[in-house]
């Protein structure tokens, strides 16, 4: 059987075109991801933390992620960055605001949580809907009431920046929505708070806490008040989803919105109490402006709800005891962390 020469040439050209197309689509490899970073964590912190094998923590990736975190060009109207709602001086919260400002006059639907020690988490948002920091990073970027971008728009903005082009080539190879979120996640994993007076006390400094704070610490860990039932360990959270009886009928059903299990109605993730004095207002809807209001609520034992946590119990405190407990909560503020 004989084949015509033009036919052979046509096949050769087609094959060559496919090879070129495949080569173009092949992922670019990073050229220099930077120096591996081992988190600087106190010896008494948990040994287990989460760094994905496909997003190893390095100095260059942290630097890139920090730039993206503070970049307002990643929002629809160029007015909002991640840092607009997560302010470093307030432990990466939006202190003083019930709901944070988004693009075009929008508002967040929940109070902005703190960002620190996230390297220990494997679920995110108050309802736990994100299972990694990488997944979490995408949420605010694309939420219509927060930064309001599409994935394609985010990639286009980043690709148009020569500095980002160079840094992504080094750190991740390609500029994609996955690598953009990976870089932001790397920066967030580097944010560690561990230098409060409470920490210094744990390390043996008997002068780190005032007499009032020491009395408040005793109350905090007492059976009577029982804060430690949920806010325990050196991170001061059990990382569980709990209904604390804020309402008899919840407007925002929390974890139930994700699972659709009746037993999850009104459950929200227990936050860390580190830096709690500077991250007001409190609760998922920011209903309490002060720590005094928070303690007054817990003293009631919470409202009746079928899912209310058994850890909730009422208690009474004298004015002095209440002041001591608040003094202890202030000892959880990491002054070194918020001044960085």
Domain assignment present for 75? yes
Domain assignment present for 67? yes
Q: Is-contact 87 97, C-beta < 8 A?
A: no
Domain assignment present for 158? yes
Domain assignment present for 27? no
State whether 204 and 181 are in the same domain.
no
Number of domains in the chain: 2
State whether 180 and 230 are in the same domain.
no
Q: What is the pLDDT of residues 180-235, one digit of tens each?
A: 999 999 999 999 999 999 999 999 999 999 999 999 999 999 999 999 999 999 89
Residue 286 has a pLDDT of: 98
Among 156, 189, 222, where does a domain finish?
189
Provide the angle, in degrees to the nearest 10, between the axes of the packed helices 162-171 and 59-69. 150
Q: Is-contact 95 333, C-beta < 8 A?
A: no
Q: What is the pLDDT of residues 311-329, one digit of tens each?
A: 999 999 999 999 999 999 9
Task: Show the domain range for 95.
Answer: 53-189
- Whole-number Cα distances in Å, 79 to 31, 159, 310: 33, 19, 44
CATH number at residue 322: 1.10.760.10
Domain assignment present for 23? no
Domain assignment present for 178? yes
Residue owning tokens 């009631």: 300
State whether 216 and 164 are in the same domain.
no
State whether 313 and 295 are in the same domain.
yes
State whether 182 and 306 are in the same domain.
no
Residue 61 structure tokens: 């990736």
Report residue 4's pLDDT band, with 50, 70 and 90 as the boundaries.
Answer: low
Domain assignment present for 244? yes
State whether 183 and 138 are in the same domain.
yes
Average pLDDT of the segment spanning 100-107 = 95
Domain assignment present for 32? no
Residue 26 has a pLDDT of: 57
- Cα(110)–Cα(84) distance, rounded to whole angstroms? 15
State whether 239 and 316 are in the same domain.
yes
Average pLDDT of the segment spanning 144-160 = 98
């Amino acid at each position: 059987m004989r084949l015509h020469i033009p036919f052979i040439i046509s096949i050769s050209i087609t094959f060559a075109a496919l090879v070129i197309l495949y080569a173009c689509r092949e992922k670019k490899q990073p050229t220099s991801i930077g120096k591996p970073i081992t988190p600087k964590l106190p010896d008494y912190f948990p040994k287990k933390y989460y760094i994905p094998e496909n997003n190893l923590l390095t100095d260059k990736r942290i630097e890139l992620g920090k730039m993206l975190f503070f970049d307002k060009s990643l929002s629809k109207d160029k007015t909002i960055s991640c840092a607009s709602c997560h302010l470093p001086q307030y432990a990466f919260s939006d202190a003083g605001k019930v709901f944070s400002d988004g693009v075009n006059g929008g508002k967040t639907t929940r109070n902005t949580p703190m960002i620190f020690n996230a390297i220990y988490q494997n679920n995110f948002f108050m309802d736990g809907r994100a299972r990694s920091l990488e997944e979490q990073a995408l949420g605010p970027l694309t939420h219509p009431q927060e930064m309001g971008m599409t994935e394609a728009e985010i990639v286009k903005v980043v690709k148009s920046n020569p500095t980002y082009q160079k840094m992504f080539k080094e750190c991740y190879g390609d500029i994609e929505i996955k690598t953009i979120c990976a870089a932001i996640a790397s920066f967030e994993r580097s944010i560690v708070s561990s230098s409060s007076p409470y920490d210094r006390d744990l390390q043996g400094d008997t002068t780190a806490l005032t007499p009032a704070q020491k009395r408040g610490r005793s109350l905090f860990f007492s059976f009577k008040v029982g804060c430690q039932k949920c806010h325990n360990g050196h991170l001061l959270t059990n990382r569980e989803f709990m209904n604390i009886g804020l309402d008899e009928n919840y407007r925002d059903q929390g974890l139930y919105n994700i699972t659709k299990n009746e037993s999850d109605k009104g459950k929200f993730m227990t936050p860390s109490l580190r830096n709690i004095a500077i991250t007001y207002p409190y609760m998922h809807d920011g209903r309490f402006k002060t720590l005094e209001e928070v303690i007054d609520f817990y003293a009631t034992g919470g409202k009746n709800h079928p899912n209310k946590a058994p850890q909730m119990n009422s208690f009474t405190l004298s004015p002095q005891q209440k002041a001591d407990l608040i003094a202890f909560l202030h000892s959880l503020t990491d002054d070194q962390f918020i001044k960085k």
